[in-house]
Amino acid sequence: MRRRSPALDTLPRPVPGMPYRIVFVCTGNICRSPMAEVATRAEANALTLADGTTLGDRLHVTSAGTGPWHEGEPMDPRTADALRRAGYPDHPHVAHQISAASLVQNDLIVALDRRHQQTLRSLGNDPSRLFLLRSFDPSAGAASDVPDPFYGDNAEFDTCLAMIAGGCRGLVTTLADLWDGAPSP
């Protein structure tokens, strides 16, 4: 049985017959948010719901950056390498910037740190749809930010991915409860 997440009561509910749209947001959309996108897809595709479908069948998962610095570029090669080392599938990624208009197209907006959360609020994002990724990881404690590994080495990218994977596992478990019903606390 899955553990009930406190976030379950506040998450936007799915609309029957429509994909539940999630966007992960970091600074440039080449390191942290692509990691979260790939990890969430893998976790969701591996989780079977009560009706026999996978959670991945219900989700549309993307990522974006708060700025245009890497618009049109692939994910950072160190990001791709960290994902490969962790056993995730290759993912063709093209960085892009989030816009106020695109925010309304998503059911759930997941920021990788508090700066991103503030930027998204300034774009007029509905606060009831905006969460920090680590809020879904019970082992994160009070740590709310995923540090940017951009200026680090492979070890920092691996550490970053481990933090992100923990948040993504918690998020996927919480999302599954939206379809399967939350177990009693």
- Written as six digits, the tokens of 151 are 């200026």
Which among 31, 32, 113, 169 is annotated as catalytic? 32
Q: Is 168 assigned a catalytic role?
A: no
DSSP 103: H
Decide: 32 and 65 in contact? Cβ < 8 Å.
Answer: no
Residue 17 dihedral angles phi and psi, to the nearest 5°: 80, -5
Q: Which residue type occupies 46?
A: A
Q: Is 160 assigned a catalytic role?
A: no
Which among 57, 81, 115, 148 is annotated as catalytic? 148
Q: Is 78 assigned a catalytic role?
A: no
CA distance 150 to 52: 40
Q: Which residues pair with 21 in a beta bridge?
A: 60
Which among 26, 31, 160, 168 is annotated as catalytic? 26
CA distance 109 to 116: 10
CA distance 160 to 31: 9
CA distance 114 to 131: 10
What residues are labeled active site? 26, 32, 148
